[in-house]
């Protein structure tokens, strides 16, 4: 995708339909001749309700791009807008609020707290948002049911399979009803059959719950299920 075609597409899309807008984003690590250019002028938009696969080899810039969209990292230059807010201009409080209310991450390593039950892990974001205990418990169990884990609420992560742990992580990501899910290789630690189940679950959640998702992956199952595929190579978005 060329810079001019990306700009034309962005101008053609109504702003209220766009959940994420990335404009000429670059990211460099280090300075001088040894600097690593992880992203080189990346521009695209994502519409509400889309499942977008972000494809590329290891080191292509996928994780860096997701981190910048979600506010965990800052671009060297360029601009990112999520749900109408300029992410690159937000301070610490604004970023924290965005991560509580608008954006949620799903990681390859699940990131569950081993001392908490499945329901307690799912309820953690709601606890940080200061929802009352009864509401947290009710919604956590409902979300576990949504991802097919009814009856597993009281189990600790070590009592669950890898696929079940990732389902708990997805339920946790949905806890505060985010508008945008950012998933970084969510099937990287799973076998192909379990990974396929997780990908189909993500697609059904995106379409049934009206959530948008950008998923960094090289999993052909997800790429086949995505509404749109973006390809990164050496930090450049390819056509």
Q: How confident is the prediction along the chain (239 residues), in pLDDT tens digits per residue?
A: 444 444 455 444 555 789 999 999 999 998 878 888 899 999 999 999 999 999 988 888 899 999 999 999 999 999 999 999 999 889 999 998 898 889 999 887 888 999 999 999 999 888 888 888 898 889 999 999 988 898 899 999 999 998 899 899 999 998 888 999 999 988 877 888 888 888 888 888 888 888 999 999 887 877 888 999 999 998 999 86
pLDDT of residue 50: 92
> What phi, psi does 10 have (nearest 5°)?
-60, -40
pLDDT of residue 13: 52
pLDDT of residue 79: 95
pLDDT of residue 14: 55
Name the residue range of residue 129's domain: 109-177
pLDDT of residue 197: 84
Count of other CB atoms within 10 angstroms of residue 62? 25
Asked if residue 197 is part of any domain, the answer here is no
Residues 130 and 38 occupy one common structural domain:
no
pLDDT of residue 20: 96
Residues 236 and 221 occupy one common structural domain:
yes
Residues 113 and 78 occupy one common structural domain:
no
Asked if residue 200 is part of any domain, the answer here is no
Residues 20 and 88 occupy one common structural domain:
yes
Asked if residue 204 is part of any domain, the answer here is no
Asked if residue 198 is part of any domain, the answer here is no
CA 90/CA 83 separation, integer angstroms: 13
pLDDT of residue 15: 58
Are the beta carbons of 237 and 62 closer than 8 angstroms? no
Query: 197, 176, 179: which is closest to 187 by C-alpha?
Result: 197
Asked if residue 199 is part of any domain, the answer here is no
pLDDT of residue 3: 46
56: left (phi over 0), alpha (psi -120 to 50) or beta: left
CA 99/CA 85 separation, integer angstroms: 12
Residues 4 and 85 occupy one common structural domain:
yes
Residues 48 and 135 occupy one common structural domain:
no
Residues 173 and 186 occupy one common structural domain:
no
Residues 94 and 170 occupy one common structural domain:
no
Residues 126 and 9 occupy one common structural domain:
no
Residues 91 and 166 occupy one common structural domain:
no
CA 116/CA 52 separation, integer angstroms: 32
CA 205/CA 208 separation, integer angstroms: 5
Domain closes at, from 177, 203, 223: 177
Total tally of structural domains belonging to the chain: 2
Residues 57 and 124 occupy one common structural domain:
no
Query: What is the distance between the terminal CA atoms of the chain, rounded to a whole angstrom?
Result: 4
Query: 101, 58, 51: which is closest to 204 by C-alpha?
Result: 51
Query: 40, 186, 222, 165: which is closest to 104 by C-alpha?
Result: 186
Residues 153 and 59 occupy one common structural domain:
no
Q: What is the CATH number of the domain that holds 238?
A: 3.40.50.300
Q: Token pair 């059959």 is at which residue?
A: 193
Asked if residue 169 is part of any domain, the answer here is yes
Asked if residue 205 is part of any domain, the answer here is no
Asked if residue 202 is part of any domain, the answer here is no
DSSP, residue by residue, 73-104: S--SEEEEEETTEEGGG--HHHHHHHHHHTEE
């Amino acid at each position: 995708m060329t810079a001019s075609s990306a700009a034309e597409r962005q101008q053609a899309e109504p702003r209220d339909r766009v959940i994420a807008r990335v404009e000429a984003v670059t990211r460099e690590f280090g300075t001088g001749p040894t600097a690593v250019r992880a992203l080189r002028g990346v521009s695209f938009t994502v519409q509400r309700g889309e499942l977008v696969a972000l494809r590329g080899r290891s080191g292509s810039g996928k994780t860096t791009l997701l981190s910048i969209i979600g506010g965990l990292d800052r671009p060297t230059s360029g601009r990112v807008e999520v749900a109408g807010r300029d992410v690159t201009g937000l301070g610490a409080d604004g970023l924290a609020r965005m991560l509580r209310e608008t954006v949620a991450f799903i990681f390859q390593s699940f990131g569950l707290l081993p001392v908490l039950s499945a329901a307690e892990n799912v309820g953690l974001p709601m606890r940080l948002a200061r929802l009352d205990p009864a509401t947290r418990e009710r919604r956590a169990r409902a979300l576990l049911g949504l991802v097919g884990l009814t009856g597993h609420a009281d189990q600790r992560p070590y009592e669950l399979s890898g696929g079940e742990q990732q389902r708990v992580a997805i339920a946790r990501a949905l806890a505060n009803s985010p508008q945008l899910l950012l998933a970084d290789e969510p099937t990287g630690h799973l076998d192909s059959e379990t990974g396929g189940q997780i990908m189909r679950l993500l697609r059904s959640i995106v379409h049934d719950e009206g959530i948008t998702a950008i998923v960094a992956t090289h999993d052909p199952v997800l790429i086949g299920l995505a509404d749109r595929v973006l390809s990164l190579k050496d930090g450049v978005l390819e056509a």
